[in-house]
Structure 1
Amino acid sequence: MGTDPLALADLLRVSNTPGFERWREQVRRTGGCSDPIHLSGTTVTRDRATGDVLYSYSTADEPGGRLRVACGNRRASRCPSCAWTYAGDTYHLIRAGITGDDRKNVPATVRDHPRVFATLTAPSFGPVHNRPDRGACRCGARHPENDPVLGTALDPESYDYAGAVLFNNHAGQLWQRFTNRLRRELAARAGLTQRELKDVLRVSYGKVAEFQKRGAIHFHAVIRLDGPNGPDTVPPSWATVQLLDDAIRAAAVHAYTTITVPAAGDQPLRRFQWGRQLDIRPVKAFGDGSDITEQAVAAYVAKYATKAAETTGSLDRRIGNREVLDL
């Protein structure tokens, strides 16, 4: 198969224009962005005292009168190039937070701080098709990994679709309540008030949301205990991985960690808490088969930082009107 004649003619035309080298430089700077943003306009910087022009720029001098910049979309389904850059940045940011990085002002001593990788899941809204580790799905079938029915309701008539949507909408608030309660649980275990806790301990974390096959959000979080001034300071001796583990489990199920959504229309009042599946694993420098390593945590968080609802077969963009839906 040869090159399309029209495309070839267009390439030859562009490559022979006076601004081709500048155009190519713009393309290179976008990093291969699949949907660059085209900017047009001017900017002028003046000396505040004298009014003299210190710098001026106009896109009129650019090829086509436009400046091309990367879209910066983190979703791999929308722009693989920008998502790759975002994932790389996320990996190094998370890794610095658990191994230390002088370039990011995080000392290597954070490796000695209590660190865990926690996963908080959504509650059940009804049974769905799945692939259990042992045996078959409740429907009796053994679904292949890419079976499109995975995550769909076994009984669509009784499945709480509205509840699932509302939970996703309020998951951020539930996380905020969880982190507030976590500090209280840590203070209680240390025999301190919350104000006293701030003088000796800081809770640091990085999290990412992942959509499960059923479309419900759950959170993966790296949670670390620092001294009062952050990673540069040593946490108190009583701040251990086991204490952090206990505090997380208590905070996740506490009555305070609840979001109440009032009744509206034909929808009843709902109270949301985290699901029963709660996984907490210590982060270790080197794996021994039971714990998760620093590199694995950073890679996992970076992976899901570039994925969203499209991983469940949903749209990866805003819905502006009903016509964009494949009904």
Structure 2
Amino acid sequence: MSTPLTLYRPDLALGRDVQVLHRAATPEFFGWLEHTRPAAGCSRPIRLTGTIATVNAGTGRIISRLHTDELPDGALYKACGNRRESQCPDCAWVYQGDAYQVVRCGLTGGKGVPASVGRHPVVFATLTAPSFGAVHHRHVARHTCATRQRCDCRPTPCHARRTAGTCEHGQPAACFARHDADDPRLGQPLCLDCYDHDHQVVWNYFSGELWRRTKQAIERHLAALCRKRGIPLVRVVTASGKVRWVPPVRVSHGKVAEMQRRAAVHFHVLLRLDGVDPDDPHALVPPPAGITVNDLEEAVHVATSRITVTTAPHPDRPQGWLIAWGEQVDVRRINMAGGELTDDKVVAYLAKYATKATEVTGQQFARLTSATIDGYADPEGDHLARLIDACWHLGRPTHTNTAGGAPTAHRRQADLDAQSNAYAGLRRWAHMLGFGGHFLTKARRYSVTFGRLRNTRTVHRRAEDDETADTITVGTLAYIGAGWLTEGDALLANTAARQRRESRRVGREELAYEAWLTGAAA
């Protein structure tokens, strides 16, 4: 690149439109657009500085070396990769596409997953949290709308109780309103003082452990059915040469967490029933004929009704909290003749929630610290403020240092608290209202990984840039900042990204239409 572009210094005092004109008037404007293409569309790209070297993969000889000072703006732009749509719509769009592929390949095969998985029994389970207190809700007894996304059906009254009276805090224990879908009262407790905020954040925090034990209970139930029906164990040889006898069925899952309006998470889980190949334990084979989708559905109901977790003692609650699933456990069959749900509908549904977090509650939080917590936590505040306060209060240090106040012990206090206090992580995840898990997880055998999809995309981009397979690019880079230099740069880069994305979409539609015409003509 030529030197004048690297000397570009935007005037931040100018308006956005003038910034656009100044950037577009530079002779190397189109080179700048091409340079920022990998991060174009990103709301807050990462700017890196350092050296980029092209190395021969066979000999290790450096073919060329480039410093970022020679590039436009003197930096390398990289997309932030944030999965949350509220933070970066473009990166979330990419993540959502990857999530769609991860979930779909586990149902229909592809990208290294055999197509035979499409014949395996699969159920779609929705597991919810229990009640922590009465909240405003919208319930439609019978839907007559064309689509749930734009439901205009008349709901039933919220809490129609003629004899409910008031709670011990003087708040009405009934609500006769028929809430609209966008009513801000939805998910809010009828009485903030009656609501058990501590239990809810603890449930969010330990919900991952509850799911882990539930998954184990589902597999144990199926293994017991195999023994009862005379289906023998399978002999497998591990990589170390040891012989193991394992149950002939196993369950692979893909799970998405969704934050409800009351700020409690619930899980949407795809559970696929697989068999075990004695010659190749990693192969995906159908389950034995004696185990059906009915057994998988029964196993889910049995496990969710029996499995609970009792948390460790806490100074505020020595007996701990009971963590269990709520009464609303919905299990439906998919991927089979006469199934209640279709593959495409479930996959799109799960991929949509993979880019969400706490937005449904009406708030978007960054990680909270001791310096910022006072602006969000309030034991006498609204519903979210009390939940955050519960996270911060329950996650407080409970280990008292009695070693004479030595500096070393003081520096290690945080580590001691984390080891002795099972709730210490609540402070780390206070911005997520206690939930510290990833919003999309899967079993190892369920489907393709995000890493493989990203690597495939990287190889494709290298092929587009005419990079040869016998060379690799090695960067020695350091972080210098985040975000576009000006609002004008952001507008130009994002507009170019949208145009390229729309062009690709139109191209795909034209190719699909041409393929359809060819097939119709044949």
TM normalised by structure 2 equals 0.56
Amino acid at match of 1:201: V
Residue 309 of structure 1: aligned partner: 358
Within 1, Cα distance between the matches of 2:61 and 2:46? Answer: 31
The structure number with the bigger radius of gyration is 2
The aligned amino acid for 1:238 is G
- Partner Cα distance (1:131, 1:292) in 2: 23
> Aligned residue for 2:422?
none
Tell whether 2:185 aligns with 1:149.
yes
| Equivalent in the alignment of 1:184 | 220
The separation in 2 between residues aligned to 1:50 and 1:112, in whole angstroms, is 48
Q: Aligned partners of 1:230 and 1:185: how far apart in 2?
A: 22
Q: Percent identity?
A: 43
- The reply on whether 1:72 has 2:60 as its aligned counterpart is no
Q: Which amino acid aligns with 2:267?
A: F
1:288-308 C-alpha deviation (Å, 9 max, x unpaired):
6x6010001100100100111
Aligned equivalent of 2:445: none
Structure 1's unaligned 5+ residue stretches are none
Q: Deviations over 1:99-124 (max 9, x none)?
A: 122xx112222121011111111111
Q: Deviations over 1:118-150 (max 9, x none)?
A: 111111111111112243111121111111111
Taking a change above 3 Å as real, the CA distance of residues 147 and 85 of structure 1, as seen in their structure-2 partners, is same
CA contact (8 A) 1:19 1:62 kept: no
Letter in 2 for 1:170: F
For 2:315 and 2:87, how far apart are their aligned partners in 1? 36
| C-alpha distance in structure 2 between counterparts of 1:155 and 1:239, whole Å | 48
Q: CA deviation at 1:252?
A: 1.4
Q: How does 1:1-80 map to 2 (within 5 A)?
A: 6-17=15-26, 19-44=28-53, 52-54=61-63, 56-80=65-89
Residue in structure 2 matched with residue 175 of structure 1 by the alignment: 211
In the comparison of the two structures, how many residue pairs are matched?
Answer: 317
The one of 112, 117, 123 aligned to 1:105: 112
* Residue 319 (structure 1) shift: 2.4
Give CA deviations for 1:247-290 in whole Å, capped at 9, x if unaligned.
Answer: 11111122xx322223323235211011111111111367x6x6
Residues 278, 48 of structure 1: CA spacing in aligned structure 2 closer, same or farther, 3 A cutoff?
Answer: closer
Deviations 1:186-216 (A, max 9, x none): 1011116796445x33321111000111110
- Asked whether 1:299 is paired with 2:343, we answer no
Question: Are positions 1:238 and 2:238 aligned together?
Answer: no
- Alpha-carbon separation, structure 2, partners of 1:30 and 1:160: 44
Match of 1:136 among 157, 163, 166: 157
Letter in 2 for 1:24: L
2:333 to 278, 282, 288: 282
- Alignment equivalent of 1:220, drawn from 264, 268, 272: 268
Q: What secondary structure is seen at the aligned counterpart in 2 of 1:292?
A: coil
The 8 Å contact of residues 107 and 231 in structure 1, kept in 2 or not, is answered as no
Q: Select 1:123's aligned residue among 98, 111, 130.
A: 130
**Contact 1:227 1:235 (C-alpha < 8 Å) held by counterparts:** yes
Task: Please name the residue that 1:262 is paired with.
Answer: 312
Aligned CA distance change for structure 1 residues 16 and 285 (closer, same or farther; 3 Å): farther
Per-residue deviation, 1:9? 2.9
- For 2:366 and 2:80, the matched residues in 1 are separated by 14
Q: State the one-letter code of the partner of 1:314.
A: Q
* 2:113 partner amino acid: V
**CA gap 1:164/1:124 in 2 versus in 1, 3 angstroms:** same
Residue 272 of structure 1 corresponds to: 323
Q: Secondary structure at the match of 1:68?
A: strand
What is the deviation of 1:227?
2.4
- SS of corresponding position for 2:15: helix
Amino acid at match of 1:306: T
The whole-number CA distance in structure 1 between the counterparts of 2:336 and 2:47 is 44
CA offset at residue 169 of structure 1?
1.0
Match of 2:300 among 226, 245, 248: 248
Shift of 1:55: 5.2
SS in 1 for 2:131: coil
- Contact map agreement 1:26 1:69 (CA 8 A) in 2: no
Q: Which runs of 5+ in 2 are unaligned?
A: 1-12, 142-155, 160-174, 235-243, 379-522
* SS of residue matched to 1:162: helix
Rounded to whole Å, the distance in 1 between the matches of 2:88 and 2:311 is 35
**How much has 1:154 moved relative to structure 2?**
1.3
Whole-angstrom distance in 2 between the partners of 1:252 and 1:183: 12
- Report the alpha carbon displacement of residue 74 of structure 1 after superposing the two structures with TM: 1.1
Structure with greater contact order relative to length (CA < 8 Å, sep ≥ 6): 2
Alignment check: 8 A CA contact 2:52 2:68 kept? no
The 2-side partners of 1:144 and 1:107 are apart by 45
SS of alignment partner, residue 301 of structure 1: helix
Give the superposition deviation at 1:45: 6.9
Paired residue secondary structure (1:234): coil
**Distance in 1 separating the partners of 2:366 and 2:31:** 32
Q: Deviations over 1:37-64 (max 9, x none)?
A: 1112225577899874355343222211
Between the aligned partners of 1:182 and 1:272, the Cα distance in structure 2 is 18
